Structure 1
Amino acid sequence: MTSSRPPSTPQADLRALGSALAAAWPPLQAEAEHLARTLLLGGHGRRQSGRGDEFWQYRPAQAGDPARDIDWRRSGRSDAHFVREKEWQAAQSVHLWVDRSAAMQFSSDTGLPTKSHRAALLAMALSTLLMKGGERVALTALGTPPRTGNLQLTRIAEGLTDTDDADYGAPDAATFLPHARAVFVSDFLGPTDALETAIATCAARGIKGVLHQILDPAEEAFPYQGRTIFTSMGGGVVHETLRAGDLRARYRDRLAERKAHLSQLAQTAGWRYACHHTDASAQSALLWLYQAVEGAG
């Protein structure tokens, strides 16, 4: 989405903005920790059967279950056989790509966070939750493999404060581990070629994942009227119109087409897609993200 007015700082000042944001990564980490804690206190932990040491539940034995998996003591108390399931505890790898392009710096109102800040907050809180569950997490921008621990969280927080001069971001899955999981967070309003290539690369490697679109409410509603100058956040595209309201229907149709395309890309690859607006609850978005990523494993 483009801004309805020229950006207050020219493109060259984005690097200075990035430096200012970098000084704020401790508050971002603290905010993300708080957001993650609200989810943990709500009892939304991981509960999946699989390999592990902690007992979860009994279930009736099914055809194909090995005899060694049957709990004979529990089965002896009834006429049926039962299998003792343990909670899933095998560590997994999760790759995060978070769009840090100029377009993500947009906010239509001073009372709303930028798309970039909301994306960074959700990615940081998700990393915190996943690592508390024993997962290894990597931020694509860092160019390092998935790891766990407080040091990795700090590195991710630092990486999430970087900015990119490009108008729109493009994911690259070339270094993703086979059979890992992937999370792409962006407004997805730019060209989709790189996104389609990245998803195809993931599908070929058995990687399941999530597309999480972040939009400002103005990018959904297109509330502009009369003479308006639309300027991309990077300053590379400028369009002036005397009747902005006449563009609303066409814009909304194009946005609906883009959402449908993203949803189809996700569905074809066995991924999940959702759209989140920056005026909505970050907690609800984090809950969806966490459950979507866990379900992709």
Structure 2
Amino acid sequence: MSNPVSLRATSESEAAALPALLARAEHLAGAVLLGAHGRRRAGAGDDFWQYRPAQIGDSRRAIDYRRSAMGDTEFVREREWQIAQSVMLWVDQGASMRFTSSDSLPLKVARARVLALAVAILLNRGGERVGLTGTELPPRAGRPQIMSLAQLLCRDDATDYSPPEHRAMIPHARAVFISDFMGDIDGVRTALTKAADRGVRGVLCHLLDPSEEAFPFSGRTIFESVGGTISHETLKANDLRDRYLARLAERKAELQSLCALTGWHYGVHHTDSSAQSGLLWLYRALDARAVAA
């Protein structure tokens, strides 16, 4: 049973972080004016998409006579397909995400949370249902769902590396995974395989601090995991640089290969890049055509 004092402290910490996260996400989403999240194919909807030549079987009521009067061909006015879709989010809350190499840069988890919540706000504005992977918060629409998302995204995980949550994947939905993917890749492989089995396609956002790309260490250095469970001391850190960068390149290649095999979209985002650029990439990558590319 949870210690009441500890539970209250955790709750108060989450409550304190919630307004700031919401404010940052709302501001970020407000800076990206994207409109409705259309499906970009013909179907039931209110918005005009394109004209196409009339075909056998088209109703006479579907003919756009104003457009057809401009030439000798009859045209049909098509609307854009805008059926609401479920989008599931997973943000790595493990201790490795609570790292930054500089006070001028955000923690990786802080950037991941604001990106996830901002994309949820944009999708919600477009009429989509958004939730978390797993069973705690199934996809729904509406402002209360955004508040619930923000609250759950403020929780930290005590483990160094958290594997992606793959339970309760809704068939043929979309998904967004945001992590540094520094842990065991088997968890990622399992999650993407299970998602693909259920027709779920999505976006894998590989989020890294710039120092994790550059490895700017030399001389005597003590490397410790944020959670404190791993420690390694070396007198010649620069001797590890080539091996580390090779391992990082190998991990990126593994993730790219997994995404290619399962129909997901892979991209890298750095915490020294603007949050707006990361949000724009995430939002556009969720488009069906981008994921299928």
The verdict on a shared fold, with TM-score over 0.5 as the criterion, is: yes
SS at match of 1:213: strand
Cα deviations across residues 154-198 of structure 1 (Å, max 9, x unaligned)?
000001100001110111222011010011000011101111111
- 1:67 lines up with 2:58 in the alignment: yes
- The alpha carbon displacement at 1:140 in A equals 2.7
- What one-letter code is carried by the residue in structure 2 that aligns with 1:51? G
- The alpha carbon displacement at 1:144 in A equals 2.4
- For residues 62 and 267 of structure 1, the distance between their equivalents in structure 2, rounded to whole angstroms, comes to 37
Aligned residue for 1:33? 26
- For residues 181 and 275 of structure 1, the distance between their equivalents in structure 2, rounded to whole angstroms, comes to 19
- For residues 265 and 131 of structure 1, the distance between their equivalents in structure 2, rounded to whole angstroms, comes to 29
SS at match of 1:236: coil
- 1:52 lines up with 2:52 in the alignment: no
Q: 1:118 aligns with which of 111, 116, 133?
A: 111
- 1:206 lines up with 2:199 in the alignment: yes
- What one-letter code is carried by the residue in structure 1 that aligns with 2:254? H
Aligned residue for 1:234? 227
Determine if contact 2:134/2:165 at 8 Å carries over to the other structure.
no
Alignment map for 1:8-19 (pairs within 5 Å): none
- For residues 239 and 14 of structure 2, the distance between their equivalents in structure 1, rounded to whole angstroms, comes to 37
- What one-letter code is carried by the residue in structure 2 that aligns with 1:229? I
Determine if contact 2:37/2:123 at 8 Å carries over to the other structure.
no
Determine if contact 1:179/1:207 at 8 Å carries over to the other structure.
yes
Cα deviations across residues 122-169 of structure 1 (Å, max 9, x unaligned)?
001000000000000012366121001111000000011000011101
SS at match of 1:146: coil
Given the two structures, how large is their TM-score scaled by the length of structure 2? 0.89
- The alpha carbon displacement at 1:60 in A equals 2.5
The percent of aligned pairs where both chains have the same amino acid is 48
Aligned residue for 2:3? none
Q: CA RMSD in A?
A: 2.2
- For residues 22 and 240 of structure 1, the distance between their equivalents in structure 2, rounded to whole angstroms, comes to 38
- The runs of at least 4 aligned residues of structure 1 exceeding 6 Å deviation read 15-18
- 1:95 lines up with 2:88 in the alignment: yes
SS at match of 2:175: strand
- For residues 18 and 258 of structure 1, the distance between their equivalents in structure 2, rounded to whole angstroms, comes to 36
For residues 222 and 62 of structure 1, do their structure 2 counterparts lie closer, same or farther at Cα, with a shift above 3 Å needed? farther
SS at match of 2:103: coil
Determine if contact 2:134/2:166 at 8 Å carries over to the other structure.
no
- What one-letter code is carried by the residue in structure 2 that aligns with 1:71? I
Aligned residue for 1:9? none
Determine if contact 1:53/1:87 at 8 Å carries over to the other structure.
yes
Determine if contact 1:75/1:81 at 8 Å carries over to the other structure.
yes
- The alpha carbon displacement at 1:16 in A equals 6.4
For residues 144 and 193 of structure 1, do their structure 2 counterparts lie closer, same or farther at Cα, with a shift above 3 Å needed? same
For residues 98 and 260 of structure 1, do their structure 2 counterparts lie closer, same or farther at Cα, with a shift above 3 Å needed? same
Q: 2:250 aligns with which of 244, 257, 275?
A: 257
- For residues 253 and 165 of structure 1, the distance between their equivalents in structure 2, rounded to whole angstroms, comes to 28
Determine if contact 1:18/1:163 at 8 Å carries over to the other structure.
no
Determine if contact 1:58/1:82 at 8 Å carries over to the other structure.
no
- For residues 122 and 236 of structure 1, the distance between their equivalents in structure 2, rounded to whole angstroms, comes to 28
- What one-letter code is carried by the residue in structure 2 that aligns with 1:61? P
SS at match of 1:67: coil
SS at match of 2:281: helix
- For residues 279 and 45 of structure 1, the distance between their equivalents in structure 2, rounded to whole angstroms, comes to 29
**Paired residues, what number?**
281
Aligned residue for 2:149? 156
| Larger relative contact order, structure 1 or 2 (CA cutoff 8 Å, min sep 6) | 1
- Structure 1: which 5+ runs fail to align? 1-12
- The alpha carbon displacement at 1:50 in A equals 3.4
Given the two structures, how large is their TM-score scaled by the length of structure 1? 0.88
SS at match of 1:23: helix
- Structure 2: which 5+ runs fail to align? 1-5
- The alpha carbon displacement at 1:17 in A equals 7.5
